[in-house]
Amino acid sequence: MFTTFHRRVLTALLISSAFAAFPAVASASHSWGGYHWARTQSPFTLKLGDNVSSAWDASLSDASNDWSTSIVLDTTIVTGGNVSKPRNCRPTGGRVEVCSAKYGNTGWLGLAQIWVGGSHITQGVTKLNDTYFNTATYNTPGWRHLVMCQEIGHTFGLDHQDEGFNNTNLGTCMDYTNNPYGPPSNEHPNQHDYDELDIIYQHLDSTTTVGQTANKMPPAANNTEHTGPPQVGTAQWGKLIRSTNGGRTEVFELDFGGGHKVFTFVIWAEGEE
């Protein structure tokens, strides 16, 4: 499953904004609050800014190829906007910045953030914490593929399919696990992920946020630091809006008013939550 394949084929019609589907289409229901990139055409191409070390190159390439299998979106890897200082990992309007760095003993393996205006994603960031990925526990292709794939998936508007760590793998990177290899492997998306993307992006918008370097986010939203543990304070992470599995699965919301928000999904390192 490490090769790219495309499913540019006709699919069953989808019913509109209720997010329901005809019986011929596999059910999927893991949208992240309905947030999505505004776009005027389908499929659309989303740029992934490469700010990762060579240890992550294969995982980033595979994730980009895997998600491009969707019939509604493609991704392309470009030079990142934080190459000289990947630890800062500042967002770039209209695309997703993917960064790896030694963020320290923060407790998290990786995190995904989206900046939204209303229901539309305007920019996104994925951060991968080499402090943990340089250890024997996590320095494996399986963990790197799982976390890279999942965090990028969040920036499209996808939530988890499952948040149990000890149950059988669902065969998707959008599933929490203690063993990415399974079986089945949780290193790549599965059909339900592609079905959910079809549902999220079945409609077209009158405007686009894809590739738009200028957005209406308040300046403070782009200058907020989001690297340390959430206990540092609400000014950094915002409020905790979801916590499951005894705190191993958490989502934070930082509200700047006027419908402008930053959401953060966190993958905790084992024993660090």
Query: Residues 170-209: pLDDT tens digits?
Result: 999 999 999 999 999 999 999 999 999 999 999 999 999 9
Asked whether the beta carbons of 126 and 267 are under 8 A apart, the reply is: no
Banded pLDDT at 238 (limits 50, 70, 90): confident
The reported pTM is 0.85
Per residue in 142-172, pLDDT (tens digit) is 999 999 999 999 999 999 999 888 899 999 9
The 3-state DSSP composition of the chain as helix, strand, coil percent (nearest 5) reads 20, 25, 55
189 preceded by a cis bond (ω within 30 of 0): no
Element of type H or E holding 68? none
Domains of the chain in sequence order: 36-268 (3.40.390.10)
pLDDT of residue 187: 98
Range 226-237 average pLDDT: 53
What's the pLDDT score for residue 269?
82
Q: What is the pLDDT of residue 268?
A: 81
Q: For tokens 């290899």, name the residue.
A: 181
Average pLDDT, the chain: 84
Q: Which residue has the tokens 């191993």?
A: 248
pLDDT tens, position by position, 110-142: 999 999 999 999 999 999 999 999 999 999 999
Predicted local confidence at residue 24, as pLDDT: 31
Residue 244 CB contacts under 8 Å (≥ 6 apart), including other chains: 163, 250
Kindly indicate the confidence band of residue 22, based on its pLDDT and cuts at 50, 70 and 90.
Answer: very low
More confident site: 32 or 7: 32
